[in-house]
Chain A
Amino acid sequence: MAIPYRAAFQFLANQWADELVVTSAGNSSQMWWDVTRDADRVFYLDASMSLSTLLASGVAYGVPQAKVWAFMGDGAFAMNPGMLMVERDLNLPNFTHVLLSNRVYGGTSDLDLPNKPINDYVGMAKSMGLERIWSFETLSQLEGDFDAAFRGNAEGHRFVVLELDPFTPDDHAIEEPPMDGPEIKFRFGRYIEKVYGARVFTGQF
């Protein structure tokens, strides 16, 4: 069982309130841009090879009054699952790691992940001591438990696994976020300065 990629993202976009969002390589950047067209509350981190949730953790650490969602494909996760050790150590209550499991390298022609049918991401997270873990295989499950997984009063870091279908051919045709890196940095950073009062670019010296 798996959720169509677009349906999951459309649902999350509809629920999106004031959270800061960090996307990951290829698929999640494209789809989040397609369903939101937002470039201020989102840092589109493309092709980082597993660093989206740690970059987002740095944001969440520095702006504890913000809530932060970070998307990561399971292809990236497979490259650096030890990230969960660091996230568990930090245990940031304002941070949600959303693992997008479609069992393929979606940004590179949907080729298979190693050990594709067997990988147990929830089990991996439990083995590293994570306690607040959710896994959704249907849209109705996600709709039903969204508030608990994404919005409840967390005492620490959350890990949410979404079992998704790979992109459809139509999904693959949607555009990449049309911004260069510095524009993404400045829009995201200026938003954080404006809303949360952080001094990202000002007063650096």
Chain B
Amino acid sequence: MTSREDIARCVADQAADCGVELVASLPDNWMAEVIRTFERDDRFRHVPVNREESAVGLCSGAFLSGTGSLAVMGASGLMTLIYAITKINYTYEIPMTILATLRGAPGDKAKFHVSNGLYFLPSLDAISLTYKVIDSADKITEIGRLYDHARTVSRPTVAILTRDVLRGEA
């Protein structure tokens, strides 16, 4: 058993190893410790954003300046990004990497995430958005592979973390 703080540190270390410097976030409860960790870690400039689309703009611009970046959000936030991702990142072929939560999956007791359980992953599939579900702590290293893959394919990639991983229980 590891703690939420340990998991958050692993995520931050992965991001730093990728060369991430700028982190744009809008919180999801499950992701709160990860966001606090980025905020406290001097290796990053953490920028809280007003909505998830703003993270797409900021991270896309950061790429054009040669600055590594990461967007952090919940599943609901990513669901609002279909237009921004397809319009900016697909049209201009700009890579970015997103950390999101797997809300609505079995174990999530929030009824307001039922829609995410039904439509979140199918929506990503519908726009051919590359993602991996990180459902155990030993898979956190996949964040680095997804980050590199975004640059290989000049498209966004998403690392989707489960509740149990973020709670240090998987």
Inter-chain contact A184/B92, CB cutoff 8 Å:
yes
Number of B interface residues in the complex (CB < 8 A):
33
Known contacts A51-B53, A51-B57, A80-B51, A58 near B88 by CB under 8 Å: no
Number of A-B residue pairs having CB atoms within 8 Å of each other in the complex: 121
Q: A45-B92, A51-B60, A57-B61 are known; give 12 further A-B pairs, CB within 8 A.
A: A46-B91, A51-B84, A58-B59, A61-B58, A61-B61, A62-B64, A63-B65, A86-B58, A89-B48, A90-B47, A193-B66, A200-B66
Is B66 within 8 A of A80, CB to CB?
no
Q: How far is the CA of A23 from the CA of B86 in the complex (A)?
A: 18
Enumerate A26-85 residues with CB–CB distance to B below 8 Å: 43, 45-63, 80, 82-83, 85
Chain B residue numbers with a CB within 8 Å of A182 are: 92-93, 154
Sorted nearest first, the 5 A-B pairs with minimum C-beta distance are: A58-B61, A62-B65, A54-B57, A82-B50, A62-B67
Instruction: Mark out the residues of chain A between 84 and 134 whose CB falls within 8 Å of any chain B CB in the assembled complex.
Output: 85-86, 89-90
Q: Which of B45, B51, B58, B61 has the most CB of A within 10 A?
A: B61
B9 within 8 A of A: no
Report yes or no: A181 in contact with B93, Cβ–Cβ below 8 A: yes
Q: Which B residues are in CB contact (< 8 Å) with A164?
A: none
Report if A48-B87 is in contact (Cβ < 8 Å); known contacts: A80-B50, A185-B94.
yes
Q: Which residues does chain B contribute within 8 Å of A151, judged by CB atoms? A: none
A61 to B63, CA, bound (A): 11
Considering only CB atoms, which chain A residue lies closest to B48 in the complex? A89
Q: Which residues of chain B are near A89, meaning CB under 8 Å?
A: 47-48
How distant is A82 from chain B, measured CB to nearest CB, in Å? 3
* Chain B residues within an 8 Å CB radius of A62: 22, 61-62, 64-67
Report Cα–Cα, A205/B148, bound state, in Å.
7
Instruction: Give complex CA distance A189, B57 in Å.
Output: 16
Give the residue of B22, B92, B148 whose beta carbon is less than 8 angstroms from that of A58: B22
> Contacts A181-B92, A181-B93; is A58 near B62 (CB within 8 Å)?
yes
Complex Cα spacing A181 to B66, Å: 18
Partner of A83 from the list B48, B50, B60, B69 (CB cut-off 8 Å) is: B50
Supposing A51-B53, A200-B66 touch, asked if A58 and B58 sit within 8 A by C-beta, the answer is yes
A-B contact pairs, 16 of them (CB 8 A): A49-B87, A50-B53, A54-B61, A56-B61, A58-B57, A58-B59, A58-B69, A61-B58, A61-B62, A61-B67, A62-B67, A80-B51, A82-B54, A85-B50, A86-B58, A199-B66
**Beta-carbon contact of B83 and A49 below 8 Å:** yes
